[in-house]
Amino acid sequence: MSQLEFDFSDSVVLITGAANGIGKQLAERFAASGAQLVLADKSEAVEALARALGAAHLALVIDISDEAGVEALVARAIERFGRIDVLVNNAGIGPLAAAEKMDTALWDATQAVNLRGVFLCCRAAGREMLARGYGRIVNLASQAASVGLEGHLAYCASKSGVLGLTRTLALEWGPHGITTNAVSPTVVDTELGRYGWAGEKGERMKALIPTRRFATPAEIAHSILFLASRDAAMINGADLRVDGGYTAC
């Protein structure tokens, strides 16, 4: 696959959920584009990833649904690099259950990571961006924010919330040099995607996507890097659906 060229050589980029999947692809792409990285994940694998990408990068193992942890993350980033130019809220979980069997704790855990975590990271990093008058925020939503998916009650609700949050921040912070956008993938060929869409279920889903396949992490990363770039300054409050046409049906 060809690589789109972006220059982030003068940028500090914070990525949550960076240890694998889309987050890992993002870390590799931003690093290759010259960015200094702050990588956050609940997995200690994020530390090895940061080391592999170069000594300039910072990694922290945190739970993004923890307010104190997120505040400490942003404080460490500012202490180390002096600023945050780009925030990518990628961390997320996707537990499955029929609506009538949905456990309350499972519901709460999904909202905590997928929505509360996005809010906490946006608020903490956004304060720094507002003080400087510049920032790019990209939130990972999903096609599940716009359509219902069987067994995805908590997930669909959380990702719909991400879109509402994104649009409101775009309205409030746009006048201050900060753009806030969402990327909504279809099923992506990652560990999380394979968990929810393995086997015959996955084949049935592919048949409903006009391109007849799932997305790759690289394809999602391309879209995010564009929205994070200075060239995307007039894109604000958008929901970029990288879904192969699934929500057009």
Residues with catalytic function: 155
* 248 and 208 Cβ atoms separated by less than 8 Å: no
As a whole number of angstroms, the distance between CA 187 and CA 193 comes to 6
**Residue 98 — φ and ψ, nearest 5°?**
-65, 145
The two three-digit tokens of residue 95, written as one number: 């537990």
Task: Tell me the three state secondary structure of residue 124.
Answer: helix
Burial class, 109, CB count within 10 angstroms (exposed 0-12 / middle 13-18 / buried 19+): middle
Chain position carrying tokens 């903490």: 124
* 81 and 12 Cβ atoms separated by less than 8 Å: yes
**Residue 93 — φ and ψ, nearest 5°?**
-130, 160
